Amino acid sequence: MKRLPAMPDEWLDRSRTVRFRFEGRSFEGLAGDSIASALWAAGQRSQGRSFKYHRVRGILSAANHDVNVMMQDGPKLNTRGDVVAVREGMDLTAVNTFGGLANDKARHLNKLSRFLPVGFYYKAFHNKRLFPLWEKMFRRITGLGVVDFSTPHIRTQKRYDFCDVLVIGAGPSGLAAALSAAEAGASVVVCDENARAGGSGLFQLGADGARRQHTVSLLQQVKAHPRIRLLEGTYAGAYYADRWVPLIDENRMTKMRAKSVIVASGAYEQPSVFRNNDLPGIMNGSAMQRLIYRYAVKPCNTAVVLAANADGYRVALDLLAAGAAVAAVLDMRASVPASPLADALRAKGVEILAGHAVYEAHADGKGELAGVTACRIDGSGRVVSGSQRRISCDGVAMSTGWSPAANLLYQAGTRMRFDDLLQQFVPEQLPEGVFACGKVNGVFRLESRITDGQRAGLAAAANAGFEVSGSITVPAETESPSHAWPVVAHPDGKNFVDFDEDLQVKDFENAVQEGYDNIELLKRFSTVGMGPSQGKHSNMTALRILARLTGKSPQQVGTTTARPFFHPVPLSHLAGRGFSPQRHSPLHGRHAALGAVFMQAGAWERPEYYAVPGKSRIDCIREEARRVRTAVALIDVGTLGKLEIRGPQAGEFLNRVYTGRYDNMKVGATRYAVMCDESGVLSDEGVVARVADDVFYFTTTSSGAATVYRELSRLNIEWKLDCGLINLTGSYSAMNLAGPASRKVLAQLTDMDLSSAAFPYLAVRSGTVAGIPARMMRVGFVGEWGYEIHVPAEYGATLWDALMKAGESSGIGPFGVEAQRLLRLEKGHLIVSQDTDGLTNPFEVGMDWAVKLDKPFFTGKRSLQIVRKMPLKRKLVGFRLGENHSGEVPKECHLIIQDGDIAGRVTSISWSPHVGRFIGLAFVLPSMSETGTAFQIRLTDGSMVNAEVCDTPFFDPKDERQKEIE
Amino acid sequence: MNAPFAPTRISPLFDEQAPHAAKWTQVETMQTVASFGSADAARLPLAGIGDLSFRRRAGVKGPGAAAWLNALGIATPERMNSWLRMDDGTLVLRLGNTEYLVEDMPGGGRTAQMSATAPTHGVYPVPRYDAALIVAGRNALELTRQTCAFDFTTLSPAAQGLAMTSMVGVGITAVAMESGGETYYRLWCDGTYGGYLWATLVEVASDLGGGAVGLESLGRLAQQ
């Protein structure tokens, strides 16, 4: 191995030497080298250990799929050595070793392989008694890399982007497609996962310098084209509906939306299967070509090329051009097609052996390739006895076939078919707006790929709305690029199919024998394709083996499901900058200034309570509640849904959506409102206020606002009533001024007549408060004289300030959600979704009075008519704990137990300063709902607490607080 | 007793802006940030985010909305999801089929006229107290790319199109306008989401060399 003279398209910056460490040793490479190429150039062929048997491994694909050459790079784990550029100062170690690459203690597992059959994990865990033992062991020996929990948080950006045509893959066909589409007028984005564009057009040369000119020319035109953006080092990670494709680069994920998508992603070269096909020195032919032309590294001194297509012959010629000797070309095909490539090799004295394969590879003392045994194979791929012949070499190039990089096509919903001539799955029916060209489309000859790209580019541009003319015909392939059976049996195994999971041919035979004989079952049982490379170099061979074992064709066997992402994406990219919209009421700043401790309520942040230095949370909440009961306090209720319906049939509309009756309300009145869904389940509640003959203003729960508005809007369109619905939730600020002194405070800010006669309980009035136009409702959710004041949002803070100032002499203060929950509980008022659930109907919670079954129609009426005739299954009741209860207090959702069975659950519970006991609401069996019925609540630890059913409201049952007090 | 003081309008972005404001001013009776500091002027050409919530707005919807507006002398866009600017600078946005948002120029009186006029049959007034933002600068488009799945290049100022979409998870109405050959964007959203939208856009803008810009540096942009 040595560094070659400069190659025309090499990725190296020869002016910069890069020093780094690997496994404790110092190395040098050149800027632009991958870690693997730098190591290989320095003679370090062993670069990692395999997952299961800890066998020494080296470069396989040099194409981002070498999962046995993954390295720990400081806090970065599983760095792909075969493609990641080496950086100055890197300190790398191979992952998945115990004690280092050279002295990995787990290497002895290789000798225990016969005790680790396919499905070993499943079988191990079959024994419950030994489960913990196996679990502990597997957790210790599996997993790749070490997570450093002190890794600094990296915030990555995410962005969206748009184009007419997205081309995935910048090889010859992709570049041709991009140019063709751009020439038709489309804005084009071409992305390629490699650090530089050009793809195989710049390394599959067969020592023919003229061959690269096609790609060089295309690349120059693409880079110069004003309508094309070329994104190198960027891979398309997935395909989502409507042509959304996440593009992943080093720094971030871009969500690209295109009108047309062209998949020109090429094909993965597939390893051939023979004994010891994993020794360092054995690699795909294309990997050797990448080493030569991208990194100017001679892959080996003496090579054997295992071929079954023209590409293998080009590899041999490239090796010769790089100064390596080619001991033989073993062609698995029965005969070698006449071609200039074969002639050129013969002219250089290279022995070409048709109908030959590698029987097994031999290792030297370091476990690296030292030679192979070649053999003849018959038409079925069986080894011809006695034909073995040993050849010394330090490199084997495997060029026996390809598998289309069709992952994105599958995700897009492409129907694929297996082409027997090509021995490859090709698109049969592409989804609208998706196009394929090049190798993934079953087109392999260079000139044909370019033509196919032009065809796809024009079609994609046309799909994007650009005018194109003419049609392009792509010549059919005349030679199969893939061998139908690139497998050589060996009695001693170690002929690997899946390098991620160390799966050998016999593992598949055993799996099928055990009954896992379809592709999905085989995948899960054997774990083929479930490693980090996701089967890119194993699935096709596994499929061929399964087809042969079951007597089916590859088409009949089919492929497994391709799911996003097809290639690992850093979690930092997926996380990116998160957007979690927070909704703040116009009074949020006021709350913060008053020491509010906020709680999340849907999208809203609401004050749970207002912290007072030196006081506990519970004391603060009780003090806030006390202030409401004894003086006056203010709460922000702006999070309530606030809707208006206007028009001659507004009352009729409300009659239909709520269970009560609203068309008979007087202007200036409010009425409680209960909403049910079609099944009669209580879904929302609020207050309806009639502010004019044809105008109703109504509230919904905070959490239900958006849903209710959406559903009511839908119904308004469906019913075509003469009315319009307006969502004022964000437009209005609302606050509840509550307490015995509320009227006195409000009177300072308004000319309105606040007497009980002029503004009675449950009335709505419009006027001005502090000069601000306001709607006010006298409602009593917390059980005190109070005013719910609604004003334009931009005046909310001004009104809050005015009320707080006006209330100073009355001892005003703010109160939060927790105090409000306590106060309403004392009044026995339920909270929808806390005291109800997804099955609660109004009859279960004592709201019979709110359901007007005599109305012609309302949503849920039919269901409620049926439910009404059936016995109740549960009932919401008030309860209290013993007078001197001490010890743990039940929590919401603790179960109520009767005779050892579940008889209900607690929905609300709190200490009531007024009652002097813990009080609550609970669902119980109807038979338990009589006042005075004793029951038990089971705590989390299983202990029981005694409680008894009692009447509600717990506080002011006759609403005396709403009557005139002056 | 009547009001002891004249009411002040508060921007829905006030809470987010207050800790960073260097100088305040009052426009249209709304307290508004005049300057966030000396960096305002440098931010604006890159990615400046400004608050135009002080402009008075009113909405109306319903089958009779267009005729009602026209009777008040307010022109309405012919196409759905488009906007127009009247000769007096009033901005009229047609949101969907039968809903309109009218925004006064500073000192304008169209919205007051709407509020003072009783709606007729099929006309439903929609009070509007939006957070109203302006996004300007040469990185404005990139800022939208990092915050919104909608392609803002489709909102050309000449076409006067309008988009109702989601930005950083917040529902917005957006239009593109032009000043001195530079495209900038106007955004409106529910005021209760305004603080989040503002803070997030300012954060993203700061990555792009921009940030919050007060009214003084917005200058002519705030008057258009």
The answer as to whether A312 is a domain residue is no
The answer as to whether A750 is a domain residue is yes
Cβ partners under 8 Å of residue A429, min gap 6: A414, A415
Domain range for A933: 871-960
Residues of A in contact with B200 (CB under 8 A): 579
Query: What sign results for the dihedral spanned by CA atoms A849, A853, A855, A858?
Result: positive
Name the domain boundary from B100, B127, B154: B127
Angular region, A833: left φ>0, alpha ψ -120 to 50, beta rest: left
* Cβ–Cβ contact A647 with B under 8 A: yes
Structure tokens at A737: 């001024």
Name the domain count of chain A: 4
Q: Is B6's CB within 8 Å of A771's CB?
A: yes
Residue of B nearest to A745 (CA): B1
Give me Rg for the CA atoms of chain A. Answer: 38
Asked whether residue B92 falls in the same domain as residue B146, the answer is no
The answer to whether residues A455 and A239 touch, using CB atoms and an 8 Å cutoff, is no
Which among A724, A730, A792 has the least Cβ separation from residue B124? A724
Asked whether residue A552 falls in the same domain as residue A598, the answer is no
Which among B4, B128, B196 has the least Cβ separation from residue A731? B128
Domain range for B162: 9-53+130-223
Asked whether residue A816 falls in the same domain as residue A877, the answer is no
* Cβ–Cβ contact A600 with B under 8 A: no
Edge-to-edge order in the sheet of strand B131-136: B162-167, B170-179, B182-189, B131-136, B48-51, B211-212
Q: CA dist B8 to A789, A800, A850, B127, B202, Å?
A: 17, 12, 41, 17, 26
Residues of B in contact with A589 (CB under 8 A): 14-15, 18
Please give the average per-residue pLDDT across A909-935, as a whole number: 95
Q: CA dist A64 to A33, A36, A540, A899, Å?
A: 14, 11, 18, 65
The SS3 assignment for A651 reads helix
Asked whether residue A736 falls in the same domain as residue A831, the answer is yes
Name the domain boundary from B72, B99, B127: B127
Asked whether residue B134 falls in the same domain as residue B207, the answer is yes
The answer as to whether B143 is a domain residue is yes
* Look-up of token digits 């302006």: B134
Query: What sign results for the dihedral spanned by CA atoms A741, A742, A744, A748?
Result: positive
What integer pLDDT is reported at residue B6 of this predicted model? 60
Query: Whole-angstrom Cα distance, residue B35 to residue A822?
Result: 45
Q: How far is A187 from chain B (nearest CA, A)?
A: 13
Asked whether residue B27 falls in the same domain as residue B136, the answer is yes
pLDDT score of B95 more than 70: yes
Asked whether residue A459 falls in the same domain as residue A512, the answer is no
Asked whether residue B141 falls in the same domain as residue B215, the answer is yes
Asked whether residue B169 falls in the same domain as residue B219, the answer is yes
The answer as to whether B2 is a domain residue is no
The answer as to whether A505 is a domain residue is yes
Measuring CA to CA, which residue among B104, B191, A795, B27 is closest to residue B93? B104
Which among B5, B7, B148 has the least Cβ separation from residue A795? B7
pLDDT score of A1 more than 80: no
The answer as to whether A303 is a domain residue is no
Q: CA dist B40 to A963, B47, B215, Å?
A: 57, 10, 9
The answer to whether residues A18 and A29 touch, using CB atoms and an 8 Å cutoff, is yes
Q: Look over chain A and give the mean of its residue pLDDT values, rounded to a whole number.
A: 95
What integer pLDDT is reported at residue B3 of this predicted model? 42
What integer pLDDT is reported at residue A932 of this predicted model? 95
Asked whether residue A734 falls in the same domain as residue A835, the answer is yes
Q: Is B127's CB within 8 Å of A792's CB?
A: yes
Q: What percent of chain A has pLDDT over 70?
A: 100
Name the domain count of chain B: 2
What integer pLDDT is reported at residue A363 of this predicted model? 97
Query: Whole-angstrom Cα distance, residue A596 to residue A619?
Result: 14
Asked whether residue B95 falls in the same domain as residue B135, the answer is no
pTM of the model: 0.90
Give the pLDDT confidence of A403-439 residue by residue, as tens digits: 999 999 999 999 999 999 999 999 999 999 999 999 9
Name the domain boundary from A791, A819, A839: A839
Asked whether residue A827 falls in the same domain as residue A907, the answer is no
Residues of A in contact with B7 (CB under 8 A): 770-772, 795, 798-799
The answer as to whether A696 is a domain residue is no
* Cβ–Cβ contact B178 with A under 8 A: no
Return the ∠ at Cα A215 (arms to A210 and A220), rounded to 5°.
115
Angular region, A758: left φ>0, alpha ψ -120 to 50, beta rest: alpha
Give the pLDDT confidence of A621-661 residue by residue, as tens digits: 999 999 999 999 999 999 999 999 999 999 999 999 999 99
Query: Whole-angstrom Cα distance, residue A916 to residue A63?
Result: 74
* Cβ–Cβ contact B125 with A under 8 A: yes
Give the pLDDT confidence of A111-153 residue by residue, as tens digits: 887 888 888 878 888 888 888 988 898 888 888 888 888 888 7
β-strand pairing of A764-769 with A682-692? unpaired
Measuring CA to CA, which residue among A356, A344, A439 is closest to residue A401? A439
pLDDT score of A966 more than 70: no
The answer as to whether B46 is a domain residue is yes
Please give the average per-residue pLDDT across B162-180, as a whole number: 97
Instruction: For residue A718, give the DSSP letter.
Output: H
Q: Is the peptide bond before A953 cis (omega within 30 degrees of 0)?
A: yes
Query: Whole-angstrom Cα distance, residue B171 to residue A629?
Result: 40
Structure tokens at A270: 């597939």
What integer pLDDT is reported at residue A824 of this predicted model? 96
Asked whether residue B119 falls in the same domain as residue B159, the answer is no
The answer as to whether A501 is a domain residue is yes
- The amino acid present at A327, given as its one-letter code, is A
The answer as to whether B107 is a domain residue is yes
Helices (H), B72-190: 110-116, 140-147
CATH label of the domain that carries residue A888: 2.40.30.110
What integer pLDDT is reported at residue A965 of this predicted model? 54
ipTM of the complex: 0.96
Q: Is A724's CB within 8 Å of B192's CB?
A: no
Asked whether residue B135 falls in the same domain as residue B214, the answer is yes
Give the pLDDT confidence of B45-54 residue by residue, as tens digits: 999 999 999 9
Q: Look over chain B and give the mean of its residue pLDDT values, rounded to a whole number.
A: 95
The answer to whether residues A292 and A281 touch, using CB atoms and an 8 Å cutoff, is no
Name the domain boundary from A551, A572, A593: A572
Give the pLDDT confidence of A292-303 residue by residue, as tens digits: 999 999 999 999
CATH label of the domain that carries residue A506: 1.10.10.1100
Q: CA dist A301 to A203, A348, A374, A401, B66, Å?
A: 19, 16, 18, 24, 83
* Cβ–Cβ contact B6 with A under 8 A: yes
Structure tokens at A177: 């497609």
What integer pLDDT is reported at residue A152 of this predicted model? 81
Q: Is A592's CB within 8 Å of B15's CB?
A: yes
Asked whether residue B109 falls in the same domain as residue B174, the answer is no
pLDDT score of A911 more than 70: yes
Asked whether residue B39 falls in the same domain as residue B141, the answer is yes
The answer as to whether B3 is a domain residue is no
Residue of A nearest to B148 (CA): A160
The answer as to whether B1 is a domain residue is no
CATH label of the domain that carries residue B96: 3.30.70
Q: What percent of chain A has pLDDT over 90?
A: 90
What integer pLDDT is reported at residue A118 of this predicted model? 87
Q: Is B2's CB within 8 Å of A732's CB?
A: no
Give the pLDDT confidence of A501-511 residue by residue, as tens digits: 999 999 999 99
Asked whether residue A174 falls in the same domain as residue A248, the answer is yes
CATH label of the domain that carries residue B165: 3.30.1360.120
Q: Is the peptide bond before A565 cis (omega within 30 degrees of 0)?
A: yes
Structure tokens at B159: 């076409």
pLDDT band with cut points at 50, 70 and 90 for residue B4 = very low
Q: CA dist A710 to A382, A707, A717, A718, B173, Å?
A: 69, 5, 11, 12, 18
Q: Facing residues of A671 across strands?
A: A688
Query: Whole-angstrom Cα distance, residue A227 to residue A217?
Result: 17
Measuring CA to CA, which residue among A362, A392, A500, A366 is closest to residue A44? A366
- What does the H/E/C string look like for B151-163? CHHHCCCCCCEEE
Which residue has better confidence, A275 or A883?
Answer: A275
Q: Facing residues of A90 across strands?
A: none
Name the domain boundary from B71, B98, B127: B127
User: What are the E-state strand segments in A146-296?
Assistant: 158-168, 188-192, 228-232, 235-236, 244-248, 253-263, 267-269, 282-284
Asked whether residue A631 falls in the same domain as residue A535, the answer is no
Binding-face residues of A in 557-576 toward B, CB within 8 A: none
Query: Whole-angstrom Cα distance, residue A144 to residue A52?
Result: 11
Give the pLDDT confidence of A16-74 residue by residue, as tens digits: 999 999 999 999 999 999 999 999 999 999 999 999 999 999 999 999 999 999 999 99
Helices (H), A322-376: 340-347
Query: Whole-angstrom Cα distance, residue A412 to residue A242?
Result: 9
Asked whether residue A628 falls in the same domain as residue A736, the answer is yes
Instruction: For residue A872, give the DSSP letter.
Output: P
Asked whether residue A741 falls in the same domain as residue A796, the answer is yes
DSSP string spanning A458-511?
A: HHHHHHTT--------PPPP-S-SS-S--B---TT---EEETTTTEEHHHHHHH
Indicate the Cα dihedral angle B192, B195, B197, B200, nearest 10°.
Answer: -150
Q: How far is A728 from chain B (nearest CA, A)?
A: 7
A863, with CB counted inside 10 A (0-12, 13-18, 19+), is middle
The answer as to whether A701 is a domain residue is no
DSSP string spanning A108-128?
A: GGGGGGGGS-TTHHHHHTT-T
A301, with CB counted inside 10 A (0-12, 13-18, 19+), is middle
The answer as to whether A552 is a domain residue is yes
What integer pLDDT is reported at residue A575 of this predicted model? 86
First to last CA, chain A: 102
DSSP string spanning A261-324?
A: EEE---EEEPPPB-BTTTSTTEEEHHHHHHHHHHH-B---SEEEEEESSHHHHHHHHHHHHTT-
The answer to whether residues A283 and A397 touch, using CB atoms and an 8 Å cutoff, is yes
Query: Whole-angstrom Cα distance, residue A374 to residue A389?
Result: 5
pLDDT band with cut points at 50, 70 and 90 for residue A578 = confident
The answer as to whether B162 is a domain residue is yes
* Cβ–Cβ contact A941 with B under 8 A: no
A86-101 burial by CB neighbour count: b if 16+ within 10 A, else e? Answer: beeebebbbbbbeeeb
Asked whether residue B210 falls in the same domain as residue B144, the answer is yes
Query: Whole-angstrom Cα distance, residue B174 to residue B197?
Result: 13
What integer pLDDT is reported at residue A780 of this predicted model? 85
What integer pLDDT is reported at residue A114 of this predicted model? 80
The answer as to whether B176 is a domain residue is yes
Residues of B in contact with A586 (CB under 8 A): 10, 12, 191-192
pLDDT band with cut points at 50, 70 and 90 for residue A374 = very high
β-strand pairing of A389-392 with A415-419? unpaired
Name the domain boundary from A572, A596, A621: A572
Asked whether residue A449 falls in the same domain as residue A511, the answer is no
Asked whether residue B192 falls in the same domain as residue B84, the answer is no
Structure tokens at A420: 């027997």
Query: Whole-angstrom Cα distance, residue A531 to residue A644?
Result: 58
Query: What sign results for the dihedral spanned by CA atoms A292, A295, A301, A307?
Result: negative
Asked whether residue A592 falls in the same domain as residue A561, the answer is no
